[in-house]
């Protein structure tokens, strides 16, 4: 008979046979059985452990595969663990299998980040196209995709097709020689930092938008302060946050920050929804041209999603002195797993890269590079982008109408482009209470604080204060709270639910706001 009873975690995703085998293995390791002790039959184990015979048999099979037991015909199961493998019993608490995800928590609708994996119609279409392209590449008798190391900068055919696409769609001015291909935003940004460090020095200050993309800032932080380095902390570069207003990053504050490098998102900034106008772009370029070692890194995020007007050209297209690096990925126009990314370098940095970083290898397999090449050359990128724009335009119009109807006085910010907009609440509320009540009613949302000047122009702060009030920050300014809506990944029913719930929670929260004196 077994020396202990079994306790199962029925909320765990771990199958019962694995829980049972783990329990038996722990007993064997603790020395509860002598070597070659006979273990209960499958039938007896099933009865003692209160499981089916199939579960008991599966547990024994797993133990046999792991070397804990041996099975011989007509003699049943015996312990097979060598004596020197037995560990003394300790007071350590037994392993507890992690509980399965809380069904209630899983049912909460996240309206600010969405669940893009395969939910958007455009992504499902892109997945079908990519499957066909991969099959075509694999059927090609050319074995170079398996034997070649490949060009360190990426395959010339891909870079050539990408240069044409970026020129036609976004006005980017470049040749194929200026493009580097890499696996993911992390790789191309870290490569950009290495190149700029070689150009400007390791102690450069890198500016990022604030509020902005947390992953982008973390990539810079990691690249500038590696865990193991021959350089001391004061020899590393560092990052600083620069506020963003309705036209993008504040160039005045950038100028006083001491930064040498700045990363911006001119097309549609997250989370503020602002788009950089021509005047701000020109102002930013003038900042870069003032000293020889200033550079701008342009993030192409949301560049393909303009709905109300013609798509403006990239900031890079206005650069006459080679100070803008331009990067992006194919994930947004295809599927999240498509991590092929690109970095467009100014001509002088191309020469530096080849001179000092020629040992780099391209991190994207040739198979994927050739599939992406066909994706661009055959027009799939433009077709899918057009399809996504049509879908997003319709879903954006529907969602904004829901929030405007359910919450009179709310202001939609940044809704004319991109894949998200902000809903600014009509009156100040307790931000912490508002977020908590949303969650209690089945919604999670990312909140930001908006500050409006006397002219009514909004500026977005990083995080809302616990209590937002009608008091002014400075003369003529008022602040309130806004929340992000990632609308392409919401169904129409989810949009209705989100708008009605947010409106009800707003009214409830507003009525209990404690105003500061």
Number of domains in the chain: 3
Cα-to-chain-centroid distance, residue 138: 30
Q: Which residue has the tokens 């719930």?
A: 501
What is the 3 state secondary structure string of 449-497? Answer: EEEECCCCCEEEECCCCCCCCCCCCCCCCEEEEEEEECHHHCCHHHHHH
CATH number at residue 426: 3.90.1150.10
User: Residue 371 phi/psi, 5° resolution?
Assistant: -65, -40
List of the chain residues with pLDDT < 50: 83-85, 87, 95, 97, 100-101, 103-104, 116-119, 227-233, 463-477, 514-517
Same domain, 219 and 292: yes
**Helices and strands per DSSP (H, E), number in the chain:** 16, 17
pLDDT 10s digits, 177-191: 999 999 999 999 999
Cis peptide before 333 (omega within 30 of 0): no
Residue 120 lies in a domain: no
At which of 366, 381, 396 does a domain end? 381
Residue 93 lies in a domain: no
Same domain, 61 and 46: yes
Confidence at residue 51, expressed as pLDDT on a 0 to 100 scale? 86
At which of 329, 364, 381 does a domain end? 381
Q: Which residues lie across from 96 on neighbouring strands?
A: none
Pick from 455, 494, 496: which is nearest to 476 by CA?
455
Same domain, 349 and 323: yes
Residue 54's contacts (CB-CB under 8 Å, 6 or more residues apart) are none
Confidence at residue 475, expressed as pLDDT on a 0 to 100 scale? 47
Same domain, 145 and 21: no
Confidence at residue 466, expressed as pLDDT on a 0 to 100 scale? 35
Confidence at residue 469, expressed as pLDDT on a 0 to 100 scale? 34
Same domain, 401 and 506: yes
Pick from 423, 397, 392: which is nearest to 506 by CA?
423
CA–CA gap between residue 292 and residue 356 (Å, rounded): 20
Residue 230 lies in a domain: no
Pick from 271, 260, 283: which is nearest to 193 by CA?
260
Residue 118 lies in a domain: no
Same domain, 145 and 46: no
At which of 48, 63, 79 does a domain end? 79
CA–CA gap between residue 50 and residue 454 (Å, rounded): 72
Residue 281 lies in a domain: yes
* Full domain range(s) for residue 388: 384-465+473-510
Same domain, 329 and 406: no
Same domain, 388 and 492: yes
Instruction: Dihedral sign for Cα 98, 104, 108, 114, please.
Output: positive
Confidence at residue 472, expressed as pLDDT on a 0 to 100 scale? 38
The C-alpha angle with vertex 301 and arms to 206 and 303, in degrees rounded to 5, equals 130
Residue 101 lies in a domain: no
Residue 49 lies in a domain: yes
Same domain, 344 and 260: yes
Same domain, 368 and 253: yes
Same domain, 359 and 486: no
Residue 307 lies in a domain: yes
CATH number at residue 68: 1.10.10.10
Label residue 227 exposed, middle or buried (CB < 10 Å: 0-12, 13-18, 19+): exposed
Same domain, 289 and 371: yes
pTM exceeding the 0.85 threshold for the entire prediction: no
Quick one: tokens of 403?
Answer: 């929030």
């Amino acid at each position: 008979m077994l020396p202990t009873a079994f306790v199962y975690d029925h909320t765990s995703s771990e199958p019962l046979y694995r829980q049972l085998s783990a329990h038996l293995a722990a007993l064997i390791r603790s020395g509860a059985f002598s070597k070659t002790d006979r273990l209960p039959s499958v039938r007896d184990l099933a009865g003692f452990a209160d499981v089916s015979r199939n579960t008991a048999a599966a547990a024994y099979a797993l133990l046999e595969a792991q070397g804990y037991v041996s099975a011989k015909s007509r003699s049943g199961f015996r312990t097979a663990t060598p004596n020197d493998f037995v560990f003394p019993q300790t007071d350590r608490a037994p392993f507890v299998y992690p509980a399965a995800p809380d069904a209630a928590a899983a049912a909460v609708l996240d309206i600010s980040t969405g669940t893009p994996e395969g939910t958007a119609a455009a992504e499902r279409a892109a997945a079908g196209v990519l499957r066909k392209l991969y099959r075509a590449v694999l059927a090609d008798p050319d074995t170079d995709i398996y034997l070649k190391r490949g060009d360190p900068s990426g395959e010339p055919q891909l870079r050539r097709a990408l240069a044409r696409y970026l020129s036609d769609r976004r006005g980017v001015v470049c040749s194929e020689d200026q493009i580097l291909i890499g696996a993911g935003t992390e790789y191309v940004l870290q490569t950009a930092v290495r190149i700029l460090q070689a150009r400007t020095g390791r102690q450069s200050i890198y500016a990022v938008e604030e509020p902005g993309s947390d992953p982008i800032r973390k990539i810079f932080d990691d690249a500038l302060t590696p865990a193991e380095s021959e350089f001391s902390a004061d020899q590393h570069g560092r990052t600083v946050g620069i506020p963003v207003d309705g036209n993008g990053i504040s160039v005045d504050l950038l100028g006083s920050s001491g930064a040498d490098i700045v990363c911006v998102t001119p097309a549609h900034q997250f989370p503020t929804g602002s788009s950089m106008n021509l005047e701000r772009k020109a102002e930013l370029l003038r900042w870069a041209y003032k000293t020889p070692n200033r550079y701008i890194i342009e993030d192409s995020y949301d560049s393909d999603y303009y709905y109300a007007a013609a798509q403006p050209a990239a900031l890079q297209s206005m650069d006459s002195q080679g100070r803008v690096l331009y990067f992006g990925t194919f994930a947004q126009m295809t599927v999240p797993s498509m991590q092929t990314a690109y970095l467009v370098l100014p001509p002088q940095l191309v020469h530096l890269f080849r001179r000092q970083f020629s040992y780099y290898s391209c991190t994207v397999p040739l198979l994927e590079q050739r599939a992406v090449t066909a994706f661009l050359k055959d027009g799939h990128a433009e077709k899918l982008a057009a399809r996504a724009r049509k879908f997003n335009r319709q879903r954006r119009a529907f969602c904004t109408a829901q929030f405007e109807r359910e919450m009179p006085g709310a202001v939609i910010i940044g809704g004319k482009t991109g894949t998200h907009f902000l809903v600014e609440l009509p009156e100040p509320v307790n931000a912490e209470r508002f977020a908590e009540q949303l969650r209690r009613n089945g919604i999670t949302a990312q909140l930001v604080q908006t500050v409006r000047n006397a002219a009514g122009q909004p500026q977005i702060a990083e995080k809302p204060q616990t209590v937002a009030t009608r008091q002014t920050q400075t003369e003529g300014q008022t602040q309130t709270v806004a929340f992000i809506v990632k609308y392409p990944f919401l169904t129409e029913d989810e949009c209705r639910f989100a708008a009605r719930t947010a409106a009800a929670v707003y009214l409830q929260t507003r009525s209990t706001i404690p105003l500061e004196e």
